[in-house]
Amino acid sequence: SVVTSNENSAYRAVTYLLEHGHRKIGYICGETVIRNFPLRERGYVRALREYGLIASPAFRVTVGTTVGSSYASMRAWLEHHPQLPTAFFAENDIMALGCMRALSEYGVEIPNEVSMFGFDDLNFASIANPPLTTMRVPNRAMGELAVKALIESVRQPTDYSRVTHLSTTLVERQSVRTIET
């Protein structure tokens, strides 16, 4: 199989936030858990731990997995959580974009009050307001490698399997600010 290096990519994303001065970093997770999400959370927790921090349950927001449902979930969360982190890491761009809209409508300025970091680099990430900092997943390369591996396994069968992990690329846009300490 060919997969994204989810844990290490999330670790790099959260480390980026930490290097920009953020120490209160929230986690936006999907109410529907897909295979990649627990790996991304492990990377988030590992990065915090390396900086001597722990993931605060107060800044964990469980949202729907569509733009509309993540927006609605974040709006509901904001009604009961007056204290915000300085940044959020979201399991994917769809959730990040819905949450950004809810935060903005709630009067929270991104990135001046809360920074946002997504994952996937969907087309909409570059045109969000502000454009979303994210991790780009090499989808085309994943598909090409998967087809090549399939053809190879048909031509030369083996009694073992292999997993190829592809790195992501950090795409720096305007949704993260630097906190001067």
What pLDDT, in 10s, does the model give residues 72-106? 999 999 999 879 999 999 999 999 999 999 999 99
Predicted pLDDT at 140: 81
Q: Is the pLDDT of residue 181 over 80?
A: no
Predicted pLDDT at 67: 95
164 three-class SS: strand
Predicted pLDDT at 2: 61
Assign 61 a pLDDT band (cuts: 50, 70, 90).
very high
Predicted pLDDT at 102: 97
Q: Is the pLDDT of residue 17 over 90?
A: yes
Distance CA 133, CA 150 (A): 34
Predicted pLDDT at 73: 97
Distance CA 20, CA 89 (A): 13
Q: Tell me whether strands 2-4 and 134-136 are parallel, antiparallel or unpaired.
A: unpaired
- Confirm if 8 and 43 have CB atoms less than 8 A apart: yes
Predicted pLDDT at 152: 78
Cα three-residue angle 26-28-30, rounded to 5 degrees: 160
What pLDDT, in 10s, does the model give residues 135-177? 998 768 777 777 777 777 788 888 877 777 778 889 999 999 9
Distance CA 63, CA 151 (A): 39
Distance CA 101, CA 124 (A): 13
What pLDDT, in 10s, does the model give residues 105-122? 999 999 999 999 999 999
Distance CA 30, CA 37 (A): 8
- Confirm if 6 and 39 have CB atoms less than 8 A apart: yes
Predicted pLDDT at 99: 98
Residue 4 CA: distances (Å) to CA of 58, 67, 139, 170: 29, 22, 9, 13
